[in-house]
């Protein structure tokens, strides 16, 4: 039997991340040949990966990386099977090291095929599957380029990137606040202007049906019914719709006996309420139309304007699960 020294075992452990006993067994099987021992561990990883291919890798770590001049950012999710592994320090370090590599590539496919310490990223994931005994995979990959890119990572569960059109004063604060908004509120697009009209129409119909069904039960219980909106997006509020809403508001004020000379003071609030009640889709899914989480009296778009001549050019968000 080939005698294996502790130094050789430690060298293999540092190179692969495998446990001490696994490294020793691999070196024994390889008769002390270091490269062959690595192959032994890789084959073990392949076997484990094959057995666990259908497992759910919904835990893990979401991480991001922005280059030194803040013009390119990447966010990835390194997925595993359990929260125990996902919180492990060496696992999070692997995810961070992978993100450092990922920033050099524009697609997940190119990233997976790239070199990572003498292996491709895909091969490294298989190797580490054998090490930790759980399925590992890149669950998400997002890249963003802009004149200024900022990021925010929420406890390694959500990673967000935001792109801005200019590097203005206090841009770090703006970028971090926006990335936190993206991570927290889960916007899917920048503005209501990005929506497909067919999507808005079908979503309107579905939401109205849900509220009407809920109102049947509320009515049966003698409770206050929910308001059934006619619209859910600013994209539906044409000048004609807004003009009619204003006329309806004036009719209400007249019916309430409010003096006409004070209508100008009351109408703006009523119109704001009408728009708020009829743009629920925008508030949920459109970053610029959402209420700013640090001051819900303003929208994100209004917050951005306080920083001067700068616009949001895009954003990305990746998360576990």
Structurally, how many domains does the chain consist of?
Answer: 2
Final residue of a domain: which of 191, 222, 248? 191
CB atoms within 10 A of CB 227: 9
**Is there a single domain that holds both residue 170 and residue 233?**
no
**Is there a single domain that holds both residue 113 and residue 175?**
yes
Kindly list the distances between the CA atom of residue 279 and the CA atoms of 13, 119, 225, in Å, as whole numbers in the listed order.
57, 50, 19
Contact 299, 288 (CB under 8 A): yes
Final residue of a domain: which of 191, 215, 244? 191
**Is there a single domain that holds both residue 89 and residue 184?**
yes
Work out whether strand 158-164 and strand 312-319 pair parallel, antiparallel, or are unpaired: antiparallel
User: What CATH number did the domain enclosing 104 receive?
Assistant: 3.30.479.20
Residues composing the chain: 321
Residue at 48 is within a domain: no
Specify burial of residue 92 (Cβ count, 10 A radius: 0-12, 13-18, 19+): middle
Number of H helices, E strands in the chain: 13, 10
pLDDT at residue 46, rounded to an integer? 65
Q: Helices marked H in the chain — which ranges?
A: 6-16, 20-29, 34-51, 83-86, 89-102, 108-112, 121-132, 171-185, 197-220, 239-255, 263-277, 280-285, 300-305
**Is there a single domain that holds both residue 157 and residue 68?**
yes
Q: Point out the residues of the chain with pLDDT beneath 50.
A: none
- Provide the phi-psi class of 32: left if phi over 0, else alpha when psi is between -120 and 50, else beta: left
In angstroms, the CA 97 to CA 115 distance is: 12
Q: What is the pTM of this model?
A: 0.78
Final residue of a domain: which of 135, 166, 191? 191
pLDDT at residue 139, rounded to an integer? 93
pLDDT at residue 49, rounded to an integer? 58
**Is there a single domain that holds both residue 78 and residue 186?**
yes
pLDDT at residue 53, rounded to an integer? 65
**Is there a single domain that holds both residue 105 and residue 164?**
yes
**Is there a single domain that holds both residue 302 and residue 215?**
yes
pLDDT at residue 29, rounded to an integer? 77
In angstroms, the CA 191 to CA 127 distance is: 43
Dihedral pair phi/psi, residue 149, rounded to 5°? -120, 130
**Is there a single domain that holds both residue 160 and residue 229?**
no
**Is there a single domain that holds both residue 162 and residue 249?**
no
Q: What is the CA radius of gyration of the chain?
A: 27
Q: Which domain holds residue 251?
A: 193-306
Asked whether the CA dihedral 229, 230, 234, 239 is positive or negative, the reply is negative
């Amino acid at each position: 039997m080939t005698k294996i020294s502790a130094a050789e075992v430690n060298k293999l452990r540092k190179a692969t991340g495998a446990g001490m006993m696994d490294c020793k067994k691999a070196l024994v099987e390889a008769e002390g040949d270091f490269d062959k021992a690595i192959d032994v561990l890789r084959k073990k990883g392949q076997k484990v990966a094959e057995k666990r291919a259908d497992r759910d890798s919904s835990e893990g770590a979401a991480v991001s990386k922005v280059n030194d001049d803040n013009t390119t950012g990447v966010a990835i999710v390194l997925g595993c099977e359990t929260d125990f592994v996902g919180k492990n320090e060496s696992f999070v370090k692997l995810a961070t090291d992978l993100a450092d590599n990922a920033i050099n590539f524009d697609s997940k496919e190119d990233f997976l095929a790239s070199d990572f310490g003498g292996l491709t990223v895909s091969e490294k994931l298989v190797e580490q599957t054998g090490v930790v005994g759980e399925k590992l995979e890149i669950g998400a990959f997002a890249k963003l380029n802009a004149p200024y890119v900022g990021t925010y990572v929420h406890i390694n569960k959500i990673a967000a990137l935001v792109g801005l059109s200019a590097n203005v004063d206090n841009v770090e604060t703006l970028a971090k606040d926006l990335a936190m908004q993206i991570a927290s509120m889960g916007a899917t697009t920048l503005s209501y202007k990005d929506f497909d009209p067919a999507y808005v129409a079908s979503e309107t119909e579905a939401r109205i049906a849900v509220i009407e069904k809920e109102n049947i039960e509320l009515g049966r219980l003698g409770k206050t019914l929910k308001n059934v909106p006619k619209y859910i997006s600013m994209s539906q509020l044409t000048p004609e719709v807004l003009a009619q809403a204003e006329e309806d508001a004036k009719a209400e004020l007249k019916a309430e006996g409010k003096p006409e000379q004070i209508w100008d003071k009351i109408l703006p609030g009523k119109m704001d309420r009408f728009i708020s009640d009829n743009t629920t889709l925008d508030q949920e899914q459109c970053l610029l139309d959402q209420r700013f989480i640090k001051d819900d009296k303003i929208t994100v778009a209004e917050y951005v304007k306080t920083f001067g001549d700068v616009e949001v050019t895009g954003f990305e968000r990746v998360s576990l699960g």
